[in-house]
Amino acid sequence: MPRFLKDFLTRNGTGPGLVMLGLVLFWTVGLIILPQLSMLDFSFRPNLPPPEIGGPKDVYTLENYKYLVYGPEGGGQAYNAVDLMVFFRTLVAAVCVTVFNLILCYPIAYYLGQTKGNHIRVLALMLIIPYWINEILRAFALRIIFGETGVLNTILTGIGLFDTPFDFIRNDYALYAGLGYAYILLMIFPIYNVIESLDHNQIEAARDLGAPWWRIHWRVVIPYAKPGISSGCTMVFMLSAGALAAPQILGGPSSLWFTQLIYQQFNDSSDWPQGAAYAVVLLVTCILLVLAIMRLFKVNMGDIGK
């Protein structure tokens, strides 16, 4: 038995330890690995009628992946410009949402982690309570707020900033705000958990030595909070790139999300192999992009798991 497993069972007890390991194994293998392997298998299959599945025509093929790049045969275009544009726009938008959330949530997490008092608990509770409401209902509430006759346009036209209501939905401001709001806690609390353990004397020492506030954060706080920042950014980026409800509800006519294409392939076109290929491409691309960014900023998996 590996030493780390023996230490785990000794620390938690043999019975409870085996139960926890069994649950983790079930979660990892049964709910993550096996469904993804099934999706991968689907992505290499042709789209056949049910009677022909498992027959001589049901062989592995790369046509589903070629369709994403080149489109249908005889389509008259060198590349599948529409789907590729939606794919890259989804990734860029997910990166923008992640950066926006990091800029917004870092000061909040720092304040929560380095300030003492009962009002911090009240502030944390105020952040959590809105998430007792279902994500779909929150998205519809944001659509009402950002609508042409919504609260925001009423205020902006009332104070004279706009002569006519601004279309926040068609210009995708509502979508980006909705995605940022949907995952804000996933950015705040990983950073907060790390910053809370930072010795405040280090910050005071930097102030005594004459360091400005921006240098204190750049040299002291951010390097220390890197595990939390890495974890928060990873979760927000992956969930933003794979979001479906917010783009469906808050997206404008020209803001098609790649997950909506996947949904259309599975449900509207009943082309599960094509939808599976699109899903696999999105998953693999997001993972590779996260790993590349981790390597660029010298972050390892151990940092994210802290």
> Residue-wise pLDDT tens for the chain (306 aa)?
677 677 767 777 778 888 888 898 899 899 889 999 999 999 999 988 877 777 877 888 999 999 999 888 766 677 888 899 999 999 999 999 999 999 999 999 999 988 887 888 888 888 899 889 888 999 999 999 998 888 899 998 988 888 888 889 888 889 999 999 999 999 999 999 999 988 888 888 988 888 899 999 999 999 999 889 989 999 999 999 999 989 999 987 777 899 999 999 999 888 999 999 999 999 999 999 998 888 877 777 766 665
26 within some domain: no
What is residue 305's predicted lDDT score, i.e. its pLDDT? 60
| 29 falls within a domain | no
Query: What is the 3-state secondary structure of 143-199?
Result: HHHHCCCCHHHHHHHHCCCCCCCCCCCCCCHHHHHHHHHHCHHHHHHHHHHHHCCCC
- pLDDT value at residue 306: 59
Whether 177 is covered by a domain: the verdict is yes
In a domain, residue 110? The reply is yes
Return the pLDDT at 189: 92
Q: Is residue 97 part of a domain?
A: yes
Dihedral of the alpha carbons of 80, 82, 88, 90, in degrees to the nearest 10? -140
CA angle at residue 113 from 112 to 114, to 5 degrees?
100
Q: What is the pLDDT of residue 4?
A: 66
What's the total number of domains in the chain? 1
Rounded to whole angstroms, how far apart are CA atoms 58 and 46? Answer: 6
Which amino acid is it at 135? Answer: E
Whole-model pTM?
0.88
Residue 89: exposed, middle, or buried by beta-carbon count in 10 A (0-12, 13-18, 19+)?
middle
- The DSSP symbol for 76 reads S
On whether the CB atoms of residues 243 and 179 are closer than 8 A, the answer is yes
Please indicate, yes or no, if residue 10 is contained in any of the structural domains.
no
- Note the pLDDT of residue 57: 78
227: left (phi over 0), alpha (psi -120 to 50) or beta: alpha
Q: What is the CATH number of the domain that holds 299?
A: 1.10.3720.10
Q: Which residue has the tokens 């785990």?
A: 8
- Six-digit token pair at 149? 């006759």
46 lies in a domain? no
3-state secondary structure of 81: helix
298 located within any domain: yes
Domain interval for residue 108: 72-304
